[in-house]
Amino acid sequence: MPQHSLTLESPWKRIRLVPPSSSEDKESALCRTHPTTRRFLRILPEHMSEEDARIRRETRAEDKRILDFIVHFLQDDGSEKFAGFSGYFNIDEHHASCETGIIVAPDFHGKHIATEVFYVLLRYIFEEQKMHRTTFETGADNVPMQRWLEQVAGARLEAERKEAWKQVDGTFADVKGYAILDWEWRDHVKPRLERRLGGIA
C-alpha cells in the first residue's frame, strides 16, 4: 500500500500535517531518539538510523489501521520546518474508534504546537472521518501532557493502567488513558481549543 497523500491545513496557518516522506527520515530518527523526546517516552529507542526510520515509515504505511502525519511549522519566510509527528491508529471502523498521538520536536516545545496539531487532527477525525471516540495514552509521570489533556483540551481520564508500557531498559511504566467522544468534541473540546488558539495564533 503506498503512502497516503492527505494534507491537513490549519485555520491559523502556523502548521500543516503532511504525509511522511523519505526526505524527512533522518529528522524523524533524530526526533524519536532525542533525550527530550524520550524523557517521558522511554519506550522509544535510544538509537535509530535513517534506514530504521525508512523501514518504520513504509511498514506503517501498509497498515490500514494507521494514518501517520509529519508536522510542518510554517515559517515567516514561507518555508516549512519539521516539527514532529502526529496521527491516529488502532482504527476500528466497526466501533468508529481510534487512538491519537503526537510527538513535538524539542525545538518547538513551548510554542503551542500541540494544541494546533490536535485541533486540526481531531477536526478531521470527528468531522470528516465521523469517528465516535478517540483515546490518548500518556505515561503516568508525564504531568505536562496530562495537564494539557485535562486543562486545555478537557479530555476525560478513563483509565489508569499499571505497568502497561515496556521500556527499553526492560522495566514497565504506568499509563493514563484519556478519551474524547464526538459530542464532547463538538460541544466542549473544539470551542475550548478555538478560544485557546485565538489568543496565541
pLDDT in tens, 163-186: 999 999 999 999 999 999 999 999
What is the average pLDDT across 148-159?
Answer: 96
Residues comprising the chain, all counted: 201
According to the model, what pLDDT value does residue 112 have?
A: 86
What is the average pLDDT across 103-121?
Answer: 94
Q: What b/e sequence results for 150-185 when a residue is b if at least 16 CB atoms lie within 10 Å of its CB, and e otherwise?
A: eebbbbeeeeeeeebbeeeeeeebebbbbbbbbebb
According to the model, what pLDDT value does residue 168 have?
A: 96
With CA atoms as reference, report the closest residue to 132 among 53, 68, 168, 186: 186
The tens digit of pLDDT for each residue in 51-100 reads 999 999 999 999 999 999 999 999 999 899 999 999 999 999 999 999 99
Cβ neighbours for 133, distance < 8 A, ≥ 6 positions apart: 96, 97, 98, 179, 180, 181, 182
Helix axes 50-61, 25-33, angle to 10 degrees: 100
| Interatomic CA distance for residues 196 and 32, integer angstroms | 28
| Interatomic CA distance for residues 162 and 176, integer angstroms | 9
According to the model, what pLDDT value does residue 1 have?
A: 59
- 3-state class (DSSP) for residue 162: strand
